[in-house]
Amino acid sequence: MLSSGCCSLSSAVKIGVAGLGVVGSGTLRLLQAHRELIAGRSGRPLLVSAVSARDRQKDRGIDISAVRWFENAEVMAADPELDLVIELIGGSDGVAKAVVEAALAAGKPVVTANKALMAHHGGALARRAEQAGVSLAYEAAVAGGIPIIKGLREGLAANELGCIYGILNGTCNYILSGMRDSGREFAEVLAEAQQLGYAEADPSFDVDGIDSAHKLAILAALCFGCEVDFEAVHVEGIREISSLDIGFAEELGYRIKLLGLARRGNGGLEQRVHPTMVRRDAPIAGIEGVFNAVVAEGDFVGSFMAEGRGAGAGPTASAVVADVIDIARGSRLPTFAVPATELQRLPAVGLSERQGSYYLRLMVLDQPGVIADVAAILRDLSISVEALLQRGRAPGEAVPVVITTHETREADMTAALQRIAALDAVLESPRMVRIEDL
C-alpha cells in the first residue's frame, strides 16, 4: 500500500481506474505512450491493473483486454491488490463519491478530476484521507492541464494570499471571445461551440457558471486554508450578455470575461462568479478561446498568473498522471495545504457588500427627460457617473444608453436598477456588468 515514506520504490504501482470516458481513456493512453518516461520520473513503473466503466464493449481506441474488469467500481476501489485509485466518473454524489470513500476506507490514495465532488465534499474527504494517512489529489479538477493546485500549495506556500481570480471555464471564454470577434449573439456562438465539441449538449453547468463556481470554491479553500463552501459562492452565467454589451465594452476600453473571484477580507470570505468587465490591457483580458487562466496575489510574490488549456482529454490526463507520479514518489501533502482538522470556517461576505464600479445598459424611448430621470435616481443613491454613451437619434423609438459609474456599493446599485426598471421610458430590464480593476 502507498503512503508517505513507507513503500518500496522498486515495485510497480498497481492502479485502478474508475470511469473510461474522454478523460479516463486519455489517461490510459498517456500512461501507455509515456510508460518509460513516467517510470523514470516516478522511480517505479505505473501499471493500470483494473478498470471499471458502464459499457465493457464500447470501443475506446485502447486495448484493455489484459486488464481486470470490474462491473462495480466501488468493489474495485476496495480491491486489496490495488495500490491507488483514479476516480474519473464525475458528479458530486452517487458512484463517484462511493468509489472515493471506499478507496480511502481501504487505505488507498485517490486521484480525482472531479470538481463537483471536491466542491461539495472536499473537506469531509480530506479528513478521511488524513485519517487513513493517504493522499487525496485533485490537480485535474481545476483548470485542466494548468498545474495550479501544485503552484498554489507548493510554489506559493511562503506567501499569504489575499485574492485569487480567473477564467475557469473554457466554454464560456470561447463563447464570449467568439461573440466579440464576430458580432454574433450568444445562442449562435453556443451552437458553434457544441458542434466543435467545446460545449455539452446541455451546456447549463458551463454557461450558467456552476462549473466555474465548483472550481472557485476549491481554489478558495486551498488559498485561504478554509472549509470548502460551494453554497456561499454567488453565481451568475453569461446567457444575458449580448453582442451589444460586448461592443460597448470594447468602445469603453474593456472586455467581458466570466470570472471567478475569491478574496479574504471584511471579516470573512467573498466568493463570486459572474460576467466581469476588465480593462483591455489587463493580462487576463488577453486570454482567448477555450483557454483558462488563474491569477493569485501573494504578499511577497506579487501577482502570479498561469494559463493553458482547461479541459480536454490530453490536458486533463496530464494533470491526473502528474498526481499519480507524485504519489508514486512518496509525496503526501495536506489536501488543502493545511491539515484538514485545521481548516477554518470563514463567514461568507455577501455580494451586497461589494464596493466597485459598474456598467449599465438601458434600452429607453428616445424622448426628452429620460436621461434626467435616470440621473436623478443615481443621484439620490449617491452613485456618481463616470461616462455616458448614447448613439444616434430615433425619436419615439428604442435606443441604447450606456452608463459607467465610479465606485459604489452593490446594494445601492441594486436599488438603482429596481427604480430605473420601473420608469415608463425604460423598455426592458437594465443590463448590469460589474467592472473590476485587475
Which tops the pLDDT comparison, 311 or 80?
80
Same domain, 117 and 165: no
Name the pairing type of β-strands 254-265 and 136-137: unpaired
User: How far, in Å, CA of 163 to CA of 143, rounded?
Assistant: 17
From the list 54, 265, 228, 20, the residue with the least C-alpha distance to 142 is 228
Please determine, for residue 9, whether its predicted confidence score (pLDDT) is greater than 60. Answer: no
Same domain, 301 and 157: yes
Same domain, 43 and 136: yes
The answer to the question of residue 8 being in a domain is no
Question: Distance between alpha carbon 421 and the CA centroid of its chain, in Å?
Answer: 32
Same domain, 164 and 302: yes
Q: Which domain holds residue 29?
A: 13-145+317-342
**Mean of pLDDT values over 165-187:** 97
Annotated catalytic residues are 215
The answer to the question of residue 50 being in a domain is yes
Please determine, for residue 391, whether its predicted confidence score (pLDDT) is greater than 70. Answer: yes
At 4 the pLDDT is 38
The answer to the question of residue 2 being in a domain is no
The answer to the question of residue 5 being in a domain is no
Same domain, 155 and 281: yes
Same domain, 111 and 228: no
At 5 the pLDDT is 35
Same domain, 162 and 136: no
Output the domain CATH number for residue 99. 3.40.50.720
Q: Is 407 helix (H, G, I), strand (E, B) or coil?
A: coil
The answer to the question of residue 215 being in a domain is yes
Give the tens place of pLDDT for each residue, 160-170.
Answer: 999 999 999 99
At 10 the pLDDT is 59
Same domain, 261 and 360: no
Same domain, 199 and 282: yes
The answer to the question of residue 273 being in a domain is yes
Please determine, for residue 2, whether its predicted confidence score (pLDDT) is greater than 70. Answer: no
The number of distinct structural domains making up the chain is 3
The reported pTM is 0.94
DSSP state of 269: E
User: How far, in Å, CA of 336 to CA of 218, rounded?
Assistant: 8
Same domain, 135 and 157: no
At 3 the pLDDT is 41
Same domain, 199 and 115: no
